[in-house]
Amino acid sequence: MSGFLIAVLAVAVVLGFMILIHEFGHYAVAKLLGVRVEVFSIGFGKRLLGFRRGDTDYRISAIPLGGYVKMSGENPMDERTGDPGEFLSHPRWHRFLIAIAGPSMNILLAIGLLTFVYMVHYEYPAVLDEPAVIGWVLPDTPAAKAGIQIGDRIARLDGIENPTWKQVDPKEALSPNQPLDVTIERAGKSFDKTIVPEAYGVNQMGYAGWVPKEPSVTVTELEKGMPAQKAGIKIGDQILTVDSQPIPAIEAMIETLKRTQQKAIEITVRRDGQEKSFIVQPVLADIPGQVEKRYRVGISSLQMKVSALPLAAAFHKSVEQNKEGSLLILELVQKMIQRKISIRTIEGPIGIGRAAGEAATEKGWTPLMALTAAISLNLGIFNLLPIPILDGGVILLLFVESIMRRDISLQIKERIYQAAFVFLVLFAVMVIYNDLAKTLPGMMQRLP
């Protein structure tokens, strides 16, 4: 099956499942509280088949992406009869529980999925646990211009004391063109500096140009048919030098290849305690996940920590990861509103499809489940934003009405929902255009 078809199928299954879980939350709580549910649909559009049980039409519809629940009298513009089965006839705390049930199901699903994944396969870059010590500084980057040097330790970053790389990376990524206050420790002395990460790549995330220090640069993956494999380099080899120059980080080797280009290089490695040298001829090749090409030899050196966690530890780690992810989503939204970060950071259906397709083709099922958990968390948090039409908007209006001790007039609600609908349509168009622009390089120059 082609990569495109796999991506389409994967995104349809993942997004469809996420939306169904979300709507089932609304459905279950509505039924529990006595609200009449008129339709529970798998898919959208024309009804294809189904059955009726009680007041509810359970159906499969023509467009198999997600689903929806229609409750009696849930639309403020509908005529109200006072029937106790109508949504708006129920007390506000009932309506609050129904509204929050959908996002809650997505968040709980994210926690559950990630717990299961971690019980089977818990993997992450080993360097994330390490203190933020600089292993390499790329030339002409914000870090280089600020005078950051190899061996410097980040003692404080934007108020975070003694951060690990797990704390540094998101701060850097979410601060494009925004100053970050940094305290550097070097040879027992401290230096206060200001780093302004540059907006980098199609997603315009912040990039400072520093690279973590790792205990060793060890080959963890070899691309089949690439020069390094053909020359005899093996997984597990520790790269010592390239053309007699020490390699403290794989980025140092990348910089060397940018300079030497197609010229053959000598790579010296340590294997089983012995040093071996190989003559390697770089080739101009694609970079996985990027548009441009560069001279490469086909080596990866990302060292991972891999384990399987017991249930309690997996659940605790899942809750911790989802909490951190939720805070990062909210920080991203805040910075987008403040126009401190580009709309390009948002992935739309094309980006999600690409990620789902890549996860689906990886070995094992855990990558796709982990991605599903991340999408579920994003869907849950997004729906809690105080935007009318979304669940968070319903909750906000309920809160306002509780303070006022009366319902907002239907005319005002109608205007609010109309404005929110226009906003969401424009937002969707912008996200899809942004997706297309990132997919089609010729459109990139049109993006702000």
Answer yes or no: are the C-beta atoms of 262 and 247 closer than 8 Å: no
Give catalytic status of residue 23 as yes or no: yes
Which among 23, 74, 251, 347 is annotated as catalytic?
A: 23
Phi, psi of 239 (to 5 degrees): -75, 125
**pLDDT attached to residue 11:** 74
Alpha-carbon distance of 412 to 154, in angstroms, equals 52
Give the percent of the chain with pLDDT over 90: 49
Angle CA 40–50–105, to nearest 5? 25
Phi/psi of residue 221, nearest 5 degrees: -155, 140
Task: Give the integer Cα–Cα distance in Å for 125 and 305.
Answer: 6
Does residue 359 have a pLDDT over 60? Answer: yes
Examine the pLDDT at 296 and tell me if it is beyond 80: yes
pLDDT for position 354: 76
Residue 427, CA distances (Å) to 47, 331, 335, 423, 433 in order: 28, 18, 16, 6, 10
- Which residue from 443, 418, 417 is spatially nearest to 432, judged by alpha carbons? 443
Look at residue 290 in the predicted model and tell me its pLDDT. 61
In angstroms, the CA 377 to CA 371 distance is 10
DSSP 3-state assignment of 259?
helix
In 3D, which of 430, 351, 401, 323 has the Cα closest to residue 91? 401
Res. 78 pLDDT band, cuts 50 70 90: low
Q: Kindly tell me if the per-residue pLDDT of 8 is higher than 80.
A: no
Which domains can be identified in the chain, with CATH numbers? Answer: 3-120+368-446 (no CATH), 127-212 (2.30.42.10), 221-292 (2.30.42.10)
Residue for token pair 């530890």: 313
pLDDT recorded at residue 428: 78
Contact 196, 218 (CB under 8 A): no
- State pLDDT tens for residues 47-58: 999 999 988 999
E strands, 4-102, are 37-53, 56-71
- HEC assignment per residue over 118-178: HHHCEEEEHHHHCECEEEEECCCCHHHHCCCCCCCEEEEECCEECCEHHHHHHHHHCCCCC
Termini Cα distance of the chain:
36
For residue 147, what are its two tokens? 């005078």
pLDDT in tens, 195-239: 999 988 778 899 999 999 887 889 998 988 899 999 999 999 999
Query: What's residue 444's pLDDT?
Result: 42
Query: Around 387, how many Cα atoms within 13 Å sit in the side-chain half-sphere?
Result: 16
Contacts of 412 (CB under 8 A, 6+ apart): none
Q: Provide the 10 A C-beta neighbour count for residue 188.
A: 5
The answer for residues whose C-beta is within 8 angstroms of residue 438's C-beta and 6 or more apart is 202, 203, 344, 350, 351, 444
Type of residue numbered 384 = L
CA gap 430, 384 in Å, rounded: 21
DSSP 295-358: EE--EE---EEEE---HHHHHHHHHHHHHHHHHHHHHHHHHHHTTSS-GGGS--HHHHHHHHHH
Q: For residues 297 and 45, which has the higher predicted lDDT (pLDDT)?
A: 297
> 382-421: per-residue pLDDT in tens?
999 998 888 999 899 999 989 988 888 878 888 888 888 8
For the whole model, what pTM was predicted? 0.84
pLDDT tens by residue, 79-112: 677 788 888 889 999 999 999 999 999 999 999 9
pLDDT tens profile 9-38: 777 778 778 888 998 999 999 999 999 999
Q: How far apart are CA 302 and CA 324, in angstroms?
A: 23
